[in-house]
Structure formats: C-alpha cells, structure tokens
C-alpha cells in the first residue's frame, strides 16, 4: 500500500498595503519547523515588513526563529536578546542610544556590513503612543521619476553617530559631542545597489551631508528624499499588542518608534539577523 506524501507547508499571508507589509498567518509550530525559511526570506525582501500577530514567542523561540532565517547576531554587549526600553531600570546603559530610535533610521549604517533585519516581540505595552513605523525605501526608489534617479545615482553621503545625537540632544555638552564624534564617520552611496540588482535609498538620522554639496543643498536632498520615502504609500505603522512580533528588512527599510512615556515600562525584545553584503 502506497504511503501518502507528506503535505507541504505553504506560507500563508495577506498584504497590508500595496507598497509595504504582509501579515503572516502560519502557526508558531509551522514557523519554527524551518519549512518556510526560504519563502519568508523572499517575502521579507519583497514586502519590507512582516507582521506575526499574537505569536507570543519566548526568548528561546525568537532566537531559534532568527537562526532559521539566516543567523542570530549577538548584540554589542554579547546578548542574544536586546531589551528595547527607555526605562532606566531595564536598560540603564542604552537609554541614550535608544533615544535615536525615535527618528527615522537604518540600523548599522556605521558597520562594514549592516544587519539584514530585526525581529521585535512586544512584552509590555506603553500607556500611550509607542507604535513602530516602517518605510519601504525599495518601493520609494522605484517610484522616483527617472530624471531624479539620474541626478542622485552617483551621490555619496557622510554618515555619523554624532549626527544622530543632534536629533535628540541638539545642544550637547562638548564632552558628549566628542564622545559621539569618536565613533567616526563613513561615506556611503545614497542609492544602494543590492546583490539582487534591486536599489534602495540609504537615508535616516545618521545621514549628515552629501559629499560635494553645500550644507543647504545637502539638507534639501536628504530631507526631500526622506519626506518622499516616508510618505503614506510607503509606510506602515504597527500598533503593538503583547505577543506580536514584527520583522523588517533593515537593508531597504527605514524605521522609527513613535513617542511614548519613557517611564511607562514599554518593552520589546529584539533579535537581529546577520548581514550578508555591504552598502554598495
């Protein structure tokens, strides 16, 4: 008697908006089986943001899921899970760093190889605010007029940590400024041509100045492109419920946290996906 072939697990999802986002409808067991790894990674690049509602990942499950998708990278202090919170009782050493998360950014622009993506799981809700917003910089680039693409094709941009600091602390002490500036600067293309052939805009609060342009013209270029890339067609705002997980493609997606009460205990647990290519 012939044995029936095992049923193949299919990735089930629905798109959130035409230009960004998808909600995954598979069970936690299906996601952790490894059968959907390739389909999830492909969809992540296509949609920019994937939402997993009410999965209630434990830390161990979230780490395992991240490893299935290409490798969990330890955080700066060696943790596999990083607590995202402005509560100093939870995250005393990282509060200043996390203040930059309230402004549009790409993680790791200062690194030789930026991380490929991140996964956040909600543990404690804020009393107000605290949505996480995302903007698809692949789709935004695709929709630029062709003459604008030509204008920006060869532009390079200086990125720095001290530029990020000025967003949340516009009048730092000299010691603060020197500490930020000690982290260095990097020059990156404004348009990232990925190994896949797709292109995306490299923007955010680390973008300090366009090489060869005046301060005024640099600001117009960078702020104008950010305004376009973060306009309604390309953005998704996730309103958290405890147990939700959200993953995004860091190589082609800006993100930011919306303001919330820093003393409310809002807490998300983050894992990060290993990067595979430098900005080029």
> What whole-number distance in Å separates Cα of residue 1 and Cα of residue 6?
15
- Distance linking the first and last C-alpha atoms of the chain: 57
How many residues make up the chain in this entry? 280
Give how far Cα 206 sits from Cα of 100, 176, 179, 241, 259, Å: 9, 16, 15, 30, 19
The answer to whether 136 and 237 have CB atoms below 8 angstroms apart is no
Nearest to 126 by CA among 269, 258, 270: 258
The answer to whether 119 and 126 have CB atoms below 8 angstroms apart is no
Least confidently predicted of 37-41, 77-81, 168-172, 258-262: 77-81
Q: Average of pLDDT values for 71-78? A: 77
Map out the domains of the chain as residue ranges. Answer: 13-273
Which pLDDT score, from 0 to 100, does residue 3 have? 53
Residues 6+ apart with CB under 8 A from 161: 110, 180, 181, 183, 184, 206
In this structure, CATH architecture of domain 13-273: 4-Layer Sandwich (3.60)
pLDDT interval class at 91 (50, 70, 90): low
Which pLDDT score, from 0 to 100, does residue 9 have? 87
Q: Average of pLDDT values for 237-249? A: 98
pLDDT tens digits, one per residue of 138-187: 999 999 999 999 999 999 999 999 999 999 999 999 999 999 999 999 99
Report the run of H or E that residue 20 belongs to, with start and end. strand 20-24
Report the run of H or E that residue 120 belongs to, with start and end. strand 117-124
pLDDT interval class at 128 (50, 70, 90): very high
């Amino acid at each position: 008697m012939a044995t029936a072939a095992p049923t193949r697990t299919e990735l089930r999802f629905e798109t959130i908006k035409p230009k960004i986002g998808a909600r995954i409808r598979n069970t936690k067991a299906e996601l952790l089986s490894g059968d959907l790894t390739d389909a999830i990674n492909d969809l992540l690049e296509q949609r920019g943001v994937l939402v997993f509602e009410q999965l209630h990942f434990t830390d161990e499950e979230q780490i395992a899921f991240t490893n299935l998708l290409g490798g969990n990278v330890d955080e700066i202090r060696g943790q596999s899970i990083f607590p995202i919170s402005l509560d100093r009782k939870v995250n005393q050493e990282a509060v200043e760093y996390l203040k930059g998360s309230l402004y549009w950014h790409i993680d790791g622009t200062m690194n030789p190889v930026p991380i490929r993506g991140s996964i956040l799981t909600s543990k404690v809700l804020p009393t107000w605010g605290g949505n996480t917003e995302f903007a698809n910089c692949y789709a935004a680039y695709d929709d630029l007029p062709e003459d604008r693409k030509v204008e920006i094709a060869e532009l390079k941009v200086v990125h720095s940590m001290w530029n990020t600091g000025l967003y949340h602390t516009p009048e730092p002490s000299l010691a603060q400024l020197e500490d930020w500036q000690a982290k260095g600067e990097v020059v990156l293309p404004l348009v990232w041509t990925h190994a896949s052939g797709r292109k995306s805009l490299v923007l955010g609060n680390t973008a300090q100045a366009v090489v060869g342009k005046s301060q005024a013209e640099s600001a117009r270029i960078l702020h104008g492109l950010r305004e376009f890339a973060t306009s309604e067609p390309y953005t998704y705002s996730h309103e958290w419920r405890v147990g939700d997980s959200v993953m995004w493609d860091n190589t082609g997606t800006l993100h930011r946290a919306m303001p919330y009460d820093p003393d409310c205990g809002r807490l998300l647990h983050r894992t990060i996906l290993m990067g595979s290519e430098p900005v080029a």
